Amino acid sequence: MFTELNHCFRLRRRPTGRVTEADLEYVEEPIPAIGPGQALVRTLYLSVDPTNRIWMSEMRSYIDPVPLGAVMRGIGIGQVVASEREDFPVGAIVTGLTGYQSHAVIDDATDEMPYAVLPEPLPAPLSMFLGALGHTGITAYLGLEDIGRPQPGETVVVSAAAGAVGSIAGQIAKARGCHVVGLAGSDEKCAYVTETLGFDACVNHKAADWRERFDAAAPDGVDVDFENVGGEIMDHVMNRLNYGARIVVCGMISQYEASSGENAWGGQLSIGQLIMRRASMRGFVVLDHADRFPEAIGYLAGLLGEGKLHPEETIVDGIEHARDCLNRLFEGSNRGKLLLRVADAELPVPATEVAAATA
């Protein structure tokens, strides 16, 4: 039925440091035929997330490691192109764990998470359902809403401020009337964070005097730390916490590549400051909160409509670049949400209500 092949990445070895071909192999395979209770999805966009790096490791995590030999797990958006399911008709746009592949099979018996059909009409361009209006934006929203709880006038710090989640977290905090200080890895990114995203300040943590710059940018201390990085940046922030400060532990990207030996992670030195500042730290995983997605998407779509949310995307064409994209996250060379455009929809896509939302 299909003359094309399934373009996919299989996990061959658990990487240390950057992901290589020996770790994540690109292969072309026959597209599986579907049977009863199944539907075939053509992947349109694939989300490239730091957490993918956790899934490749044996780190004790919130989800099982990807088995060696299996197609790499990933969150995607696709279109149903063949179906023996009434709930997933041909043409439907769906989101779920498509994996790092051009064609995925929906099957309740094996899916690690249920697929969802996107609403019609779509309130924004497709790609945004993996970014600002997808798990990325929802992560930023829930982290602030449930753990950070920033009050107007408080100082909110966001690490990886030019990244997918950080860029949105900071904009939400700005919309709530906070003094928002970002941390990012280049002057160019910092300029983007302040000029385009509207943060009050952004400190390049690669500058020699970044600690002094940070202190100058956060003269009243830190009430909320939306933490995506960990390590020495977080240690400095922890030493600037105000009484009763809240740390949203969203990500620890500085740790994900670490292993033993020369890649060993230095660890967090300033945990004792939680005592000194009566501060709290809490971790969360967006996938736990599917019941809150409508609330979150409603809020984010509202911000978008008010022009208070700039949903930056870095879109790379072609699934064959997945490995390089994954490494880019750790090299710090992308801005906002990093996505792979895997294919264009062949069948009609539901109308987009706010087609120009990203403009």
Which residue's CB is nearer to a copy of itself, number 60 or number 109?
60
Q: How far is the CB of 106 from a copy of itself (least distance, A)?
A: 27
Q: How far is the CB of 39 from a copy of itself (least distance, A)?
A: 31
Q: How far is the CB of 225 from a copy of itself (least distance, A)?
A: 12
Are residues 160 and 181 in contact, defined by beta-carbon separation less than 8 angstroms?
no
Among 269, 320, 352, 354, binds a copy of itself (CB under 8 A): 269
Q: How far is the CB of 272 from a copy of itself (least distance, A)?
A: 4
Which residue's CB is nearer to a copy of itself, number 118 or number 183?
183
Among 77, 142, 279, 300, binds a copy of itself (CB under 8 A): 279
Query: From the CA atom positions of the chain, what is the Rg in Å?
Result: 20
Among 13, 18, 149, 282, binds a copy of itself (CB under 8 A): 282
Q: Does 230 bind a copy of itself (CB under 8 A)?
A: yes
Q: How far is the CB of 276 from a copy of itself (least distance, A)?
A: 5
Burial (CB < 10 A; 0-12, 13-18, 19+), residue 32, is middle
Q: Does 274 bind a copy of itself (CB under 8 A)?
A: yes
Site string for a copy of itself, 18-57 (x = CB under 8 A): ----------------------------------------
Q: State the DSSP string of 206-237.
A: TSTTHHHHHHHH-TT-EEEEEESS-THHHHHH
Which residue's CB is nearer to a copy of itself, number 1 or number 275?
275
Q: Does 273 bind a copy of itself (CB under 8 A)?
A: yes
Which residue's CB is nearer to a copy of itself, number 44 or number 258?
258
Which residue's CB is nearer to a copy of itself, number 175 or number 281?
281
Whole-number Å distance between alpha carbons of 319 and 24:
13
Q: Bridge-partner residues for 27, per DSSP?
A: 8
| Whole-number Cα distances in Å, 168 to 136, 260, 267, 271, 303 | 8, 33, 27, 26, 10
Q: Bridge-partner residues for 351, per DSSP?
A: none
Among 68, 70, 276, 315, binds a copy of itself (CB under 8 A): 276
Whole-number Å distance between alpha carbons of 352 and 329:
29
Among 66, 130, 233, 252, binds a copy of itself (CB under 8 A): 252
Q: Does 64 bind a copy of itself (CB under 8 A)?
A: no
On the CB side of 260, CA atoms within 13 Å amount to 1
Backbone angles phi, psi at 5, to 5 degrees: -110, 165
Residue 64 per-residue DSSP state: P
Identify the three-state secondary structure at position 340. Answer: strand
Identify the three-state secondary structure at position 303. Answer: helix
Which residue's CB is nearer to a copy of itself, number 22 or number 275?
275
Interacting span for a copy of itself (CB under 8 A) from 35-43, 72-80, 173-181, 284-292:
284-292
Which residues in the 287-346 window bind a copy of itself by CB under 8 A?
288
How is residue 194 written in tokens? 């302040």
| Whole-number Cα distances in Å, 75 to 52, 129, 284 | 9, 11, 18
Among 281, 328, 345, 350, binds a copy of itself (CB under 8 A): 281
Q: Bridge-partner residues for 8, per DSSP?
A: 27, 101
Which residue's CB is nearer to a copy of itself, number 82 or number 253?
253
Give the residues lining the site for a copy of itself (CB under 8 A).
59-62, 230, 239, 249-252, 255-256, 265-269, 271-285, 288
